[in-house]
Structure 1
Amino acid sequence: MSDIKKAPVPSEPPPSYEATPQNPASPTPPKPSVLRPPPLDLPALTLLRRRRTILASASPRRKQLLATIGLTNIEIIPSSFEENLPKSASPFEYVLATATEKALAVYKQEIDNESKGEPAMIIAADTIVVSNSGQILEKPRSEAQHIAMLKCLRDTGVHRVYTAVACMAPLESARDPGYAMETAVEETAVKFDSTVTDELLLAYVKTREGADKAGGYGIQGTGGILVEKIDGSFDNVVGLPIRVVLKLIERVVEKSEDGDILEHDLLGDEEEEEE
């Protein structure tokens, strides 16, 4: 007879997938200070650091990734778009259309904001996980669905993560449609460790780390123990391919008439240095 004891079954159910309650009696631990390198000295980023830049997402991971290129003054305005597009299109088309609609929803909401002024840039993104069989997996809606989702990813080989990014800026002219927009979709192949046990999957689900993530796992956190290897961009799996974002930002600034403002700002800096 084995001497191994089973872990006790929790007396209380895990937190709801709809909302994780906070315990007001528990003190909030202090956040460790993070030393960051100097921000990238690029004209487009210099412009956005001085002006209103919106991330159309409530994801803290996307905000953190934008901070790696020096965009730390990001304004968070989650898109009101319902993300209910039909999944009959290809995953590429579906994720791109969703990111585009997210950006447009925030643009329409904020373009005539009298108190804050129109935004200089709106950055929107959408991430989906696609199983080896072609099924689009978004955020799990229950514990049972969460477990089934992770088992599917473990048992069916390589799955793919698609993140679409849409960057847009208003045009000063009345030229239709009134804004400049650039979009892109990044793809990363991910393989779970096929030897991961059901017990480990259940233990991971109980942490709730993956409850708010497409595919039901966070590769940058505890969920990394489920992953054997990836082929492509790591931060794309996290939720925002920052290399792609930077390229789109530069293209939008170049296409929009804000380029004139950018040149004016840089000339102003040179004059101040000469004085």
Structure 2
Amino acid sequence: MESCNLKPDAKKELSQVIALVKANKGKLSAYVNQSSAVSPFLQSPLSIAELVVTIPGANCLLLQVAKRLSTPQSSPDFVIGADTCVTLDGTVYGKPKDRDHAFSMLSNLSGRNHEVLTGVCLMVHKGQEWQEINFSETTTVNFATLSPQVINAYIDTGEPMDKAGGYGIQALGGMLIEGIQGDYYNVMGFPLHRFCQSLVPVLEEMFS
């Protein structure tokens, strides 16, 4: 995916459904799978404020997944969808398309602060209906100043090529980062603490 801009009305973006856990008696079941709903919403210029959480089209995709998995005999208790992107100066950085693109991305991030935004949608099964819970999380990442030699050495590892923004904080890319403000797991791709906060009242209601 190339660097891209989203429509201003796409403040709530979701393009990825994440994990599948089947439940037995009395246990929860949840569906997560990967899927993309980004491309219909690409446009320029970008309105960066609250960029990511759930575009109606993406939510519709998530709801379709939830309904497709539901049968009279069994259905998931909830379905989780999430998407993460890297933003700098109003540009959204996806995965590099080639080596030159990765070099350009990392050069732009070098010595600067950028934001990592994750939008999450939780669909909760309630009787015959699905309740939708949305939120977004933002983490600021402070990149060290990188020389061309360091950037090329990192690209040589192959790690940047499947990472939004061209780096992965949880692996070798962590060496390029001086610090963060916010949730580390959000930079990895899923804001675990915020998700658990949102999930607690859902579980309390289920088991009350």
- Distance of 1:150 and 1:159 partners within structure 2: 11
Residues 187 and 116 (structure 1), Cα distance of their counterparts in 2 relative to 1, 3 Å cut: farther
**SS of residue in 2 equivalent to 1:148:** helix
Q: Which residue number corresponds to residue 8 of structure 2?
A: none
Pick the aligned partner of 2:27 from 50, 53, 56: 50
Residues matched between the structures, number = 185
Greater shift in the superposed pair: 157-166 or 116-125: 116-125
Is the contact between residue 85 and residue 164 of structure 2 (CA under 8 Å) also seen in structure 1? yes
Q: Which residue number corresponds to residue 74 of structure 2?
A: 117
Is the contact between residue 54 and residue 134 of structure 2 (CA under 8 Å) also seen in structure 1? no
- Distance of 1:130 and 1:94 partners within structure 2: 9
- Distance of 1:230 and 1:150 partners within structure 2: 17
- Distance of 1:109 and 1:138 partners within structure 2: 24
Q: Which residue number corresponds to residue 100 of structure 2?
A: 144
Rg (Cα) greater in structure = 1
Is the contact between residue 51 and residue 117 of structure 2 (CA under 8 Å) also seen in structure 1? no
Q: Which residue number corresponds to residue 168 of structure 1?
A: 123
Cα distance, 1:115 vs structure 2 = 9.0
Q: Give aligned-pair identity as a percent.
A: 28
TM-score by length of 1: 0.59
Residues 202 and 142 (structure 1), Cα distance of their counterparts in 2 relative to 1, 3 Å cut: same
Cα distance, 1:141 vs structure 2 = 1.4
Is the contact between residue 121 and residue 133 of structure 2 (CA under 8 Å) also seen in structure 1? yes
Q: Per-residue CA shift, 1:15-58, capped at 9, x if unaligned?
A: xx9xxxxxxxxxxxxxxxxxxxxxxxxxxxx99x9222122xxx
Unaligned runs of 5+ in 2: 2-22
- Distance of 1:115 and 1:171 partners within structure 2: 14
- Distance of 2:85 and 2:150 partners within structure 1: 23
Matched, 1:244 2:194: yes
Greater shift in the superposed pair: 200-209 or 244-253: 244-253
Work out which structure has the larger RCO, using CA pairs closer than 8 Å and 6 or more positions apart in sequence: 2
Residues 116 and 247 (structure 1), Cα distance of their counterparts in 2 relative to 1, 3 Å cut: farther
- Distance of 2:157 and 2:150 partners within structure 1: 11
**SS of residue in 2 equivalent to 1:111:** helix
- Distance of 1:239 and 1:180 partners within structure 2: 23
- Distance of 1:116 and 1:230 partners within structure 2: 46
Alignment of 1:216-255 (within 5 A): 216-253=166-203
Is the contact between residue 102 and residue 124 of structure 1 (CA under 8 Å) also seen in structure 2? no
Is the contact between residue 103 and residue 168 of structure 1 (CA under 8 Å) also seen in structure 2? no
- Distance of 1:210 and 1:103 partners within structure 2: 29
Residues 104 and 253 (structure 1), Cα distance of their counterparts in 2 relative to 1, 3 Å cut: farther
Question: What is the Cα-based RMSD across aligned positions, in Å?
Answer: 2.8
Cα distance, 1:149 vs structure 2 = 0.2
Cα distance, 1:85 vs structure 2 = 1.5
The structure where strand makes up a greater share of residues is: 2
- Distance of 2:64 and 2:134 partners within structure 1: 18
Amino acid at match of 2:29: R
Greater shift in the superposed pair: 218-227 or 112-121: 112-121
Unaligned runs of 5+ in 1: 1-16, 18-45, 56-76, 264-275
- Distance of 1:135 and 1:241 partners within structure 2: 22
**SS of residue in 2 equivalent to 1:220:** coil
Cα distance, 1:252 vs structure 2 = 3.9
Is the contact between residue 121 and residue 167 of structure 1 (CA under 8 Å) also seen in structure 2? yes
Cα distance, 1:128 vs structure 2 = 1.0
